[in-house]
Amino acid sequence: MKLSEQQIEDIIELENKIYLPILLASGIVPQNENKRKKLAEDQEIILQYNSNKQLVNIFRYKINSDTAFVLSLILDTETIPLRFLRKILISLHKNKIKTIESVVQIANKKSILFHEKLGFEILEKYQKAIRYSIAFEQINTKFF
C-alpha cells in the first residue's frame, strides 16, 4: 500500500499517542524520521478511520514466506471492530499466511492481555518484551 503524506502523518500521530508511554517505560525513545523510513518499507498496512476522518485503528505487518510479523497493531477503540478485524483476516488470507508472530513490550499490559485472550503462544521471553505466535487458522476460526 502506497501511503499518502497525510496517512503517514496520521500513523505517526496515532502510534505516538498509543505507544510512546509504553516505549518510554521500556527505555526506548522513538524517532519520527525512523518511523517515516520504516513506513516506506515493504509491508501490508490496514487503516481504519472514524466518521470524523481521524485514524483510529492500524494493523501493519511484514510477510516472510507464510509468516506475518506484526509491526504494529493500534486500537484506539475499546474493542476491535469486526469490520476492521475482517479486513485484517482477509489480508492475511490473501497473502497465504499460516502463522502470525508478534513482539510485545512487557510494559504494554493491554497488548499482553489481548494476545493471551486470543490464544497466542509465548515463543520467547526477553528482558523487556515477549515474542508470541499463533496459527492463522486458530484466529480465523475464533472469529468466523
Residue 135, all three cell numbers: 496459527
Percentage of residues in the chain having pLDDT higher than 90? 53
Structural element, H or E, at residue 136: helix 136-143
**Minimum mean pLDDT among 32-36, 82-86, 102-106: which range?**
32-36
Percentage of residues in the chain having pLDDT higher than 70? 96
Burial of 108 (0-12, 13-18, 19+ CB in 10 A): buried
Which residues are bridge partners to 102 per DSSP?
132
CB burial readout 85-102, b (16+ within 10 A) else e = bebbbebbeeeebebbbb
| Predicted model pTM | 0.86
The predicted model gives 60-78 an average pLDDT of 90
Q: Which of 110, 128, 103 is nearest to 28 (CA)?
A: 128
Total domain count, the chain: 1
Confidence band for 79, pLDDT divided at 50, 70 and 90? low
CATH of the domain at 38: 3.40.630.30
pLDDT score of 108: 87
What are the pLDDT digits (tens) for 85-137?
899 999 999 999 999 999 998 988 888 988 998 899 999 999 989 999 999 99
* Structural domain for 112, as ranges: 5-143
Q: How far apart are CA 139 and CA 17, in angstroms?
A: 27
